[in-house]
């Protein structure tokens, strides 16, 4: 991903960590975090909340999930608010069921989402429009 992004003219700003409240069993180590690559294009600008840390702790989405890799809206809201200002447009090329779109709607950002799977796209459309509930552990 980093090679593709830099090849498209983006620069790596930071590597962030989402510390989850659960762990995925694995035969080597239990995975209790996910990495977030934060890129920018053009001139880098500071984040909005200067007290933000590179390790962010947000509860994971409760099962049953609508998507196998579904992310919590509160995490997406934090990232969206930190990297954009109200009325800017956020592009999510791997939308899944739309947590970034929900975060954008909650914070006054415009949103463009792309999802190849029709079922996930339909779920995202409902959730972004306010239908359905988001819960966390």
Residues ≥6 apart with Cβ < 8 Å to 35: 15, 16, 17, 18
> Residue 62's pLDDT is what?
87
> Residue 137's pLDDT is what?
43
135 pLDDT higher than 80: no
Residues 101-118: pLDDT tens digits?
Answer: 999 999 999 999 999 999
> Residue 63's pLDDT is what?
84
Residues ≥6 apart with Cβ < 8 Å to 92: 98, 100, 101, 111, 112, 113, 114
pTM of the model as a whole: 0.87
> Residue 23's pLDDT is what?
81
Q: Are 5 and 37 in contact (CB under 8 A)?
A: yes
3 pLDDT higher than 90: yes
Task: Tell me the mean pLDDT in the region 13-22.
Answer: 94
Residues 26-37: pLDDT tens digits?
Answer: 888 888 999 999
> Residue 57's pLDDT is what?
97
**Separation of alpha carbons 63 and 29, rounded Å:** 22
Residues 72-84: pLDDT tens digits?
Answer: 999 999 999 999 9
Lowest mean per-residue pLDDT among 60-64, 106-110, 131-135: 131-135
């Amino acid at each position: 991903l980093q090679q593709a992004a830099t090849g498209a003219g983006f620069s790596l700003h930071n590597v962030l960590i989402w510390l989850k409240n659960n762990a995925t069993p694995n035969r080597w180590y239990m995975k209790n975090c996910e990495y977030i690559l934060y890129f920018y294009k053009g001139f880098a600008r500071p984040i909005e909340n200067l007290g933000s840390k590179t390790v962010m702790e947000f509860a994971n989405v409760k099962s049953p999930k609508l998507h196998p890799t579904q992310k919590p809206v509160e995490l997406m809201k934090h990232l969206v608010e930190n990297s954009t200002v109200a009325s800017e447009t956020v592009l999510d090329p791997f939308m899944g069921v739309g947590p970034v779109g929900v975060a954008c709607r909650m914070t006054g950002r415009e949103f463009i989402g792309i999802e190849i799977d029709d079922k996930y796209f339909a779920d995202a459309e409902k959730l972004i429009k306010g239908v359905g509930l988001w819960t966390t552990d």
